[in-house]
């Protein structure tokens, strides 16, 4: 065959279009190509043309490829087909390689992660995610692999399970986003699609402490820490808020506590006093009249001196550490002298409430407020919640308590539940 005549025949088969060319080859297949959108030229001065990485069996397929290429150029996401092919051939990063980079670059609302949040994410990676996916390429993490991992990760600890899944989902979402990876997604899609996987259903039902139980706990605590129990139970304050409370924050004249800061602790940054995560955390909380005298007495005898003195100082007037407050419970030893306990753990043991966490006092305070008719807005203000969802938990808890009281009232009047009702 005359080579020149064959070349001319192919050239005549090339279809001139507004964008690119479709050429019918002697084999009957079609080649698609287009001029470099940036006008680059070869060393010989010819316009650089980009060919499809393969030929097509039909003109329609070649046309579709050109349409996709033009869309990439228009959107600003275009790179040459050859560069894309080379990128696909490159070894994709593993989770163990990608996760540290993701954690270092992660921002929320334009701000770097808080130290405590970063430490928590690192713990989730080390304990739950990397043991399974450390050496697995991101593109090899399938929905099936995620589902199998989810069924075995953090079993028995629903909160950790939900947090670990949420973190994995966030990492894979970033990996699938071309705008976060130099215009090229590392995975075709996010494989984390488990409905409700990021939410936990707490298996622990909180039983609020009774007034007598609180009184027993207060009496068993060291005097310098008794007011912390009263303020958690009466004002719904968090441990971190109490640890950062200053003399100037406690206005006994107007019976109000001004919550402006809280203490957070992290392995990387140590102890930091900072403002709350949301504006709702900054609030004024009324001091219940029945504990005002205790506040005055504590302020006079135990608070550090000066307007900025800590209400609950630790050693050397530093922030009180959790270990110094919680202490340990008495340990019974058969045939030997018992190990004497002290602090919160010992006080709750003496009250017969070894299940009670310090944070449960805050829960009880908010539930009690709801039981006495506090509106949703009032609960949000008291607890420093930025969303109604958190405050609604206490309204629901109060409703449950009212139903329980109604049931006990009926039982006291001789009513007994039927089989269907029990």
In a domain, 189, yes or no: no
Q: How confident is the model at residue 378 (pLDDT cuts 50, 70, 90)?
A: confident
Least confident of 105-109, 275-279, 405-409: 405-409
- Note down the domain range covering 159: 95-180
Contact 235, 257 (CB under 8 A): yes
Question: Given this model, what pLDDT does residue 86 score?
Answer: 64
Least confident of 18-27, 276-285, 314-323, 385-394: 385-394
Tell me, yes or no, whether 83 and 104 share the same domain: no
- Measured distance CA(326)–CA(207) in Å, rounded: 20
| Catalytically annotated residue among 238, 246, 283, 363 | 238
C-alpha pair distances (Å), 79 with each of 6, 65, 92, 182, 210: 33, 14, 18, 10, 67
- pLDDT greater at residue 9 or residue 274: 274
Give me the number of domains the chain comprises: 3
Tell me, yes or no, whether 256 and 347 share the same domain: yes
In a domain, 196, yes or no: no
Give catalytic status of residue 359 as yes or no: yes
Question: Given this model, what pLDDT does residue 330 score?
Answer: 87
Q: Which of 168, 146, 166, 150 is nearest to 99 (CA)?
A: 168
Tell me, yes or no, whether 164 and 298 share the same domain: no
Tell me, yes or no, whether 311 and 165 share the same domain: no
Give catalytic status of residue 385 as yes or no: yes
Tell me, yes or no, whether 293 and 225 share the same domain: yes
In a domain, 416, yes or no: no
Chain mean position to CA 31: 50
| Catalytically annotated residue among 261, 348, 385, 393 | 385
In order, the DSSP letters of 121-147 are HHHHIIIIIHHHHTTSBGGG--HHHHH
In a domain, 188, yes or no: no
Q: How confident is the model at residue 88 (pLDDT cuts 50, 70, 90)?
A: low
Question: Given this model, what pLDDT does residue 358 score?
Answer: 95
Give catalytic status of residue 98 as yes or no: no
| Catalytically annotated residue among 30, 121, 326, 394 | 394
Tell me, yes or no, whether 267 and 346 share the same domain: yes
Q: What is the mean pLDDT of the chain?
A: 84
In a domain, 411, yes or no: no
Domain boundary among 89, 110, 127: 89
In a domain, 77, yes or no: yes
In a domain, 108, yes or no: yes
Least confident of 51-55, 93-97, 164-168: 51-55
| Catalytically annotated residue among 163, 362, 363, 393 | 362
Tell me, yes or no, whether 147 and 267 share the same domain: no
Question: Given this model, what pLDDT does residue 313 score?
Answer: 95
In this predicted structure, the answer to whether residue 1 has a pLDDT above a threshold of 50 is no
| Catalytically annotated residue among 101, 359, 407, 409 | 359
Tell me, yes or no, whether 293 and 401 share the same domain: yes
- Measured distance CA(68)–CA(315) in Å, rounded: 67
Tell me, yes or no, whether 345 and 218 share the same domain: yes
Give catalytic status of residue 238 as yes or no: yes
Tell me, yes or no, whether 69 and 111 share the same domain: no
Tell me, yes or no, whether 280 and 389 share the same domain: yes
C-alpha pair distances (Å), 53 with each of 45, 66, 82, 84: 23, 12, 7, 10
Question: Given this model, what pLDDT does residue 185 score?
Answer: 83
Range with the largest mean pLDDT of 233-237, 330-334, 365-369 = 233-237
Give catalytic status of residue 163 as yes or no: no
Q: How confident is the model at residue 334 (pLDDT cuts 50, 70, 90)?
A: confident
In a domain, 199, yes or no: no
């Amino acid at each position: 065959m005359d080579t020149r005549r064959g070349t001319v025949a192919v050239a005549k088969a090339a279809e001139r279009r507004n964008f690119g060319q479709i050429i019918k080859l002697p084999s009957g297949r079609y080649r698609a190509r287009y001029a470099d959108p940036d006008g680059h030229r070869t060393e010989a001065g010819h316009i650089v043309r980009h060919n499809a990485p393969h030929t097509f069996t039909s003109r329609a397929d070649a046309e579709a490829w050109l349409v996709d290429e033009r869309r990439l150029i228009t959107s600003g996401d275009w790179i040459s087909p050859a560069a894309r092919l080379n990128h696909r051939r490159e070894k994709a990063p593993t989770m163990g390689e990608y996760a540290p980079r993701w954690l270092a670059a992660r921002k929320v609302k334009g701000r770097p992660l808080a130290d405590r949040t970063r430490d928590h994410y690192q713990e989730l990676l080390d304990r739950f995610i990397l043991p399974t996916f450390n050496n697995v390429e991101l593109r090899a993490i399938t929905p099936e692999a995620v589902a199998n991992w989810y069924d075995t990760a953090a079993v028995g600890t629903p909160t950790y399970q939900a947090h670990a899944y949420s973190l994995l989902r966030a990492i894979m979402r970033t990996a699938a986003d071309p705008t976060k990876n130099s215009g090229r997604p590392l995975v075709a899609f996010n494989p984390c699609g488990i409905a409700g996987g990021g939410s936990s259903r707490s298996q622990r039902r909180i039983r609020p402490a009774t007034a007598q139980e609180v009184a027993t706990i207060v009496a068993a605590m060291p005097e310098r820490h008794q007011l912390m129990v009263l303020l958690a139970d009466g004002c719904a304050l968090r441990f971190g808020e109490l640890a950062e409370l200053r003399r100037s924050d406690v206005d006994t004249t107007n019976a109000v506590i001004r919550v402006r800061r809280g203490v957070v602790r992290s392995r990387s940054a140590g102890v930091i006093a900072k403002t709350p995560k949301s504006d709702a955390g900054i609030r004024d909380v009324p001091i219940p009249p029945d504990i005002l005298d205790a506040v005055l007495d504590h302020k006079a005898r135990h608070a550090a001196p000066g307007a900025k003195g800590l209400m609950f100082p630790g050693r050397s007037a530093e922030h009180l550490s959790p270990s110094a407050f919680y202490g340990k419970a008495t340990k019974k030893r058969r045939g030997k002298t018992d190990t004497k306990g002290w602090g919160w753990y010992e006080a709750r043991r003496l009250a017969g409430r070894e299940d009670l966490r310090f944070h449960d006092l805050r829960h009880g305070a908010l539930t009690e407020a709801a039981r006495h008719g506090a509106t949703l807005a009032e609960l949000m203000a008291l607890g420093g919640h930025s969303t109604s969802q958190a405050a609604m938990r206490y309204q629901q808890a109060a409703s449950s308590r009212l139903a329980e009281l109604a049931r006990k009232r009926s039982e006291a009047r001789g009513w007994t539940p039927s089989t269907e009702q029990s």
